[in-house]
Amino acid sequence: MTREEVRSRIAAARIVPVIRAASAKQAMEAAEALSAAGIAIVEVTMTVPDALELINRLRCSTQLLVGAGTVLNAGTARECVEAGAEFLVSPICDPETVSYSRDCGLLSMAGALTPNEVFAAWKSGADIVKIFPCSSAGGAPHLRALRTVFPQIEMIPTGGVNLANAAEFIRAGAIAVGIGSELVSGEPAAIAGKARQLVASMTELSR
């Protein structure tokens, strides 16, 4: 899948669930619950035990678009690519990681918060800039201000995004939202229920 194809799937879904879990088993159950609820994308963070094995398992056994998160350097990026990750996400901007992602033909999301950081991440070659932690900088109004001065840069806010405010971030100009514990926590049935609510709210925005 090309970078543009991955970007298009993310833009269409508008939701990138960020899976952090205490075990690979919990993470797998969460991914399956999200898929059953209609969310076809997951980001597995490197903080999940056996994250690389999990990424490979998800690629082999599901139809999910599987990305790797909390990728902090090119070495980790290489391991994620070998495991089958289809996009790479960082909470920071590491130019070597971005460059490696592009060399491999993978979409990359580099982290930033301030205007200088956003521009630097985009200039480094990041396809999408992850605005993190967005809530600490003002939430949707902060994103809207960044999009006003950088309309050419696509952004995904994470950190503080929840079911109640996700649509507000989309209206503020986000291509999609990254949502972690507010969505991906609890028993699988609870995760699926929250996921269906979120999918419904995103669908409503298109009407």
43 noted as active-site residue: yes
User: Where do the domains of the chain lie?
Assistant: 3-202
Pair type for strands 87-89 and 107-112: parallel
Cα gap 181→28, rounded to integer Å: 15
Residue 29 structure tokens: 């159950």
Return the pLDDT at 30: 97
Return the pLDDT at 173: 98
187 noted as active-site residue: no
φ, ψ of residue 206 in degrees (nearest 5)? -85, -10
- Confidence (pTM): 0.96
Cα gap 185→170, rounded to integer Å: 22
- Dump pLDDT digits (tens) for 68-84: 999 999 999 999 999 99
Cα gap 151→99, rounded to integer Å: 23
Cβ atoms of residues 112 and 142 within 8 Å: no
Return the pLDDT at 85: 98
- Dump pLDDT digits (tens) for 28-47: 999 999 999 999 999 999 99
Angle between helices 51-61 and 74-83 (to 10 degrees): 30
Considering the segment(s) 3-202 as one domain, its CATH architecture is Alpha-Beta Barrel (3.20)
pLDDT band for 205, please (50, 70, 90 cuts): confident
Catalytic residue among 43, 86, 117, 154: 43
Mean pLDDT of 142-170: 97
Cβ atoms of residues 58 and 64 within 8 Å: yes
Answer yes or no: is pLDDT of 20 > 90: yes
φ, ψ of residue 36 in degrees (nearest 5)? -65, -25
Cβ atoms of residues 17 and 39 within 8 Å: yes
Catalytic residue among 32, 130, 154, 194: 130
β-bridge partners, 87: 67, 107
Cα gap 76→70, rounded to integer Å: 9
- Those residues with Cβ within 8 angstroms of residue 100's Cβ, 6 or more apart along the chain or in another chain: 74, 77, 78
